[in-house]
Amino acid sequence: MKFDQSGVDALMEITARPELVFVRGEGSWLEDHTGKRYLDLVQGWAVTCLGHCPPALVEAITEQAKLLINPSPAFYNQPSMDLAKRIVGASCFDRVFFANSGAEANEGAIKLARKWGRVKRNGAYKIITFEHGFHGRTLATMSASGKPGWDTLYAPQVEGFPKARLNDLDSVKALIDDQTVAVMLEPVQGEAGVLPASKEFMGALRELATQHGLLLIVDEVQTGMGRTGKMFAYQHSDITPDIMTLAKGIGGGVPLAALCAREEVCVFEHGDQGGTYNGNPLMTAAGIAVFDTINAPGFLDSVNERAQQLSTGLLALSSKWGMKGERGLGMLRALMMDRADGAAIVEAARNRSPEGMLLNAPRTDVLRFMPALNISADEIDLALAWLDDIIAQVRA
Ligand SMILES: *Cc1c(COP(=O)(O)O)cnc(C)c1O
């Protein structure tokens, strides 16, 4: 197949993309328009959590498409209720609102917290978020994010998102005033370079929030659905958040997201929240297939085994190359390098022949790994061996 330049010219330019078109995927492998195969350790940023085109997901989508695609959110549909029951059963939350992207789920969380503040806390509306945090690309979620430069990109920002520092409780305390309604964080900051909130910090944050009558919101868009080795990352720290958002992995590759809340927090009244596509049976049927795969006995045990293998392998590469170690939780991991050659390594990995490898560098000196949760032990070994070669080649 030839590279389609006129097709490229018809797309709005929003990012630098390599001149290749992916045409097919299976498990941890992608194939481009020339037939070259790539070992994929990015998986659409932790989205295709069961790899590309997993049979259970393909079957669920195919069967549901034949039955009913979208009766409209003004009516009940069975897959949305079945998926909501599963999420409620596996978590501390009582109710679920489905959305189509992580940003939209987070917008919903922000709205729910502000509404709760109006009803229960005298109009308190500020939500403390964190430096380097990432919550999405709508105006409100960009304002909630702590990405450098985003405060001025589409100014003026949505007001009311003071920024604290991760794992620094005093920095949170210092921002609390009588207008504060919630604290919102990623249990592991993903875009920031895989920075986990410590168990102690999560516990202390929960206590602090309870003391001050604040909601604790966990953005599990990247960390949820088994990514960290538990179904939800907050479960590593034995706390009960008030609100949680999910996206990315929940649909296994299709647009699906969820806003989950405890009963006391569910203060939306009719008309406060909605969306044309929200909770449609095609996407929620896909979500059920993903959920049931992750929730099957033994699945998370094997995720944790593979994560251990990846962690050990990355640590060995770090020592061999004089790097700064590795970090992460479960299958969301990062190699902390000693130099800013992340982009060169990503490019060399992609250009490797005859088979390439897809890697991600969220910072110039950090490589992030978000492989399929069901990647095989052999594929991890292969990826580590290739990475070693590529580092040698880039640093030669
Ligand atoms: C990716 C991501 C989002 C945004 O999700 P979209 O589906 O791209 O809108 C929000 N929060 C976190 C933690 C993310 O990783």
Give residue-wise pLDDT tens across range 289-309: 999 999 999 999 999 999 999
Q: Is the pLDDT of residue 2 over 90?
A: no
Query: What pLDDT score does 319 carry?
Result: 98
**Domain-terminating residue out of 294, 320, 354:** 294
Question: Residue 125's domain is classified under what CATH number?
Answer: 3.40.640.10
Tell me the DSSP string of 313-360.
Answer: HHHHHHHHHT---EEEETTEEEEE-SSS-HHHHHHHHHH-SSSEEE-E
As a whole number, the mean pLDDT across the chain is: 97
* Nearest-angstrom CA–CA distance, 187 and 184: 10
Do residues 47 and 70 both lie within one domain? no
Count of all residues that appear for the chain in the document: 396
Do residues 278 and 338 both lie within one domain? no
- What digits encode the pLDDT tens for the residues 219-248? 999 999 999 999 999 999 999 999 999 999
Top mutation candidate among 14, 47, 134, 223 for ligand 1, by most atoms within 8 Å of CB: 134
**The two structure tokens encoding residue 165:** 């520092």
Query: What pLDDT score does 369 carry?
Result: 98
Do residues 30 and 79 both lie within one domain? no
Query: What pLDDT score does 100 carry?
Result: 98
Please answer whether residues 43 and 51 qualify as being in contact, where contact means their C-beta atoms are separated by less than 8 angstroms: yes
Query: What pLDDT score does 218 carry?
Result: 98
Do residues 93 and 42 both lie within one domain? no
Distance 22 CA to ligand 1 centre (A): 22
Question: Residue 367's domain is classified under what CATH number?
Answer: 3.90.1150.10
- Domains: count for the chain: 2
Do residues 73 and 175 both lie within one domain? yes
**Domain-terminating residue out of 294, 327, 361:** 294
**Domain-terminating residue out of 269, 294, 319:** 294
Question: Which segments within the chain are labelled E, that is strand?
Answer: 22-26, 29-32, 37-40, 95-99, 126-130, 163-164, 180-185, 188-189, 195-196, 215-219, 243-246, 257-261, 326-329, 332-336, 356-358, 360-363, 366-369
Query: What pLDDT score does 212 carry?
Result: 98
Do residues 44 and 74 both lie within one domain? no
Could you tell me the pLDDT band of residue 46, with boundaries at 50, 70 and 90?
Answer: very high
- What digits encode the pLDDT tens for the residues 340-385? 999 999 999 999 999 999 999 999 999 999 999 999 999 999 999 9
Is the pTM for the entire model greater than 0.95? yes
Distance 129 CA to ligand 1 centre (A): 15
Top mutation candidate among 14, 107, 129, 222 for ligand 1, by most atoms within 8 Å of CB: 222
Do residues 255 and 340 both lie within one domain? no
* Nearest-angstrom CA–CA distance, 90 and 1: 45
Q: Is the pLDDT of residue 180 over 90?
A: yes
Do residues 225 and 95 both lie within one domain? yes
Do residues 60 and 29 both lie within one domain? no
Do residues 136 and 270 both lie within one domain? yes
- What digits encode the pLDDT tens for the residues 92-146? 999 999 999 999 999 999 999 999 999 999 999 999 999 999 999 999 999 999 9
Query: What pLDDT score does 79 carry?
Result: 98
Could you tell me the pLDDT band of residue 71, with boundaries at 50, 70 and 90?
Answer: very high
* Nearest-angstrom CA–CA distance, 250 and 235: 17
Query: What pLDDT score does 33 carry?
Result: 97
Query: What pLDDT score does 1 carry?
Result: 81
Query: What pLDDT score does 164 carry?
Result: 98
Do residues 34 and 72 both lie within one domain? no
Do residues 145 and 248 both lie within one domain? yes
Range of the domain at 165: 55-294
Please answer whether residues 41 and 240 qualify as being in contact, where contact means their C-beta atoms are separated by less than 8 angstroms: no
Across the range 260-283, mean pLDDT stands at 97
In ligand 1, which atom is closest to the CA atom of 247? 7
